Amino acid sequence: MGSKIERQMKPKRQLRERLRDLTDFRNHWRYRKLVEQLRNLPAQFTQVMYGLPTISLDELVDGREAPEAPILDDLCLPNHAEPPGHNDLIPLLTLLKNRQPAVVLELGTAHGNTTANICKQCPKAKVYSVNALPEQISGDIITFALTKDEIGRAFRKNGYSDRVQQIYANTLDLDLSPYLQPATVDFAIVDACHDTPFVINDFLKVAPFMKPGGLVLLHDTHPSMEEHLLGSYRACMYLKQKGYDIRHLQDTWWGVWQVPGEVT
Ligand SMILES: C[S@@+](CC[C@H](N)C(=O)[O-])C[C@H]1O[C@@H](n2cnc3c(N)ncnc32)[C@H](O)[C@@H]1O
């Protein structure tokens, strides 16, 4: 009886106040973490069945010639020497230096730092690099929406324009056939929009142009699937289900597909 009276006497809070509390709660890091964990739950179940096996750099290169010093203008890839950071730049440059691909395809030029580094490590390579203009772009995890002048400025600054074919397109609409013959690309990098459907689209667009024994690297692919690392890892698990033996490159955020067949 007493508690009923107390309940009735409790002052009613304003609706506005209650909404503010709810917003504060939603901004709390614990709530955000919980939402992220729930969002990742289906992918984590899939990981039990289709998680990517790990591959080491030594399994992908015969020798281990040290790469040339990297170009650092507009660097986009992680390049940390020590944990808790990690390094995606040096493993990529080591692969390029030791494999010397003749034809390289890159989805996601951005400012052109990786393009410039490909040209520096592989002096004979021809590079095809794709990036959407701001009016063409779509997707959520796009990293940048750059103007035509901004796209590729680092490789132009470093004097590699004569070896790079720039393609301005949304990868969803991309047609590579005017530029490349099937089975002619030695090395490809998928690093445009990181939403799962885009990564699947990008990989499937690139695959028919890959030479036997070639390599496709997919950036922002890591089994933690935290934040921006979810989309590509989830795409890779889907592609693995479809029969593409994609691996996770040890200690990096790279996924790797070795094209079946001998290098020619
Ligand atoms: C992560 S950045 C690429 C970084 C670059 N590979 C490097 O290491 O210097 C992604 C780039 O892809 C472009 N991009 C995003 N979504 C795209 C799409 N759907 N089609 C084409 N380009 C896209 C963005 O404009 C951005 O410049």
% of the chain at pLDDT higher than 90: 74
Instruction: Report the pLDDT value the prediction gives residue 12, as an integer from 0 to 100.
Output: 66
Question: What's the confidence (pLDDT) of residue 64?
Answer: 83
pLDDT band for 47, please (50, 70, 90 cuts).
confident
Cβ within 8 Å of residue 39, ≥6 positions away: 230
Overall average pLDDT of the 217-243 stretch? 93
Task: Please tell me the predicted confidence (pLDDT) of residue 18.
Answer: 74
Q: What pLDDT, on a 0 to 100 scale, did the predictor assign at position 143?
A: 95
Q: What six digits make up the tokens of 157?
A: 């600054």
**For residue 261, pLDDT beyond 80:** yes
Range from 60-69, 168-177, 184-193, 197-206 carrying the lowest mean pLDDT: 60-69
Q: What is residue 222's predicted lDDT score, i.e. its pLDDT?
A: 94
pLDDT tens digit string along 101-143? Answer: 999 999 999 999 999 999 999 999 999 999 999 999 999 999 9
Distance CA 94, CA 91 (A): 5
* 11 confidence band (pLDDT: 50, 70, 90): low
Are the C-beta atoms of residues 78 and 86 closer than 8 Å to each other? yes
Cα–Cα nearest to 137, from 218, 214, 198, 213 = 198
> If you average pLDDT over every residue of the chain, what do you get?
91
Cβ atoms of 191 and 202 within 8 Å: the answer is no
Residue from 157, 191, 221 to probe ligand 1 pocket by mutation (most atoms less than 8 Å from CB)? 191
Cβ atoms of 91 and 69 within 8 Å: the answer is no
In short, whether 131's Cβ falls inside 6 Å of ligand 1 is: yes
Pocket test for ligand 1, best of 88, 109, 121 (most atoms within 8 A of CB): 109
Split at pLDDT 50, 70, 90, the class of 49 is confident
> Which residues are CB-neighbours of 206 under 8 A, at least 6 positions away?
105, 107, 176, 185, 188, 190, 216
Q: Does the domain at residues 52-258 carry the CATH identifier 3.40.190.80? A: no
Distance between CA 116 and CA 18 in Å, rounded? 54
Tokens 């493993």 -> residue: 91
* Ligand 1, atom 20, residue with closest C-alpha: 170
- How far is C-alpha 81 from the chain's CA centre? 20
- Tell me how far apart the alpha carbons of residues 96 and 224 are, in angstroms, rounded to a whole number: 26
Domain ranges of the chain: 1-39, 52-258
Q: Which of 150, 193, 219 to mutate to test the pocket of ligand 1 (most atoms within 8 A of CB)?
A: 193
Q: Specify the pLDDT at position 84.
A: 84
User: What is residue 220's predicted lDDT score, i.e. its pLDDT?
Assistant: 97
* Euclidean distance between CA atoms 236 and 222, whole angstroms: 10
Indicate whether 1 pLDDT > 50: no
Q: How far is ligand 1, taken at its centre, from the CA of residue 109, in Å?
A: 6
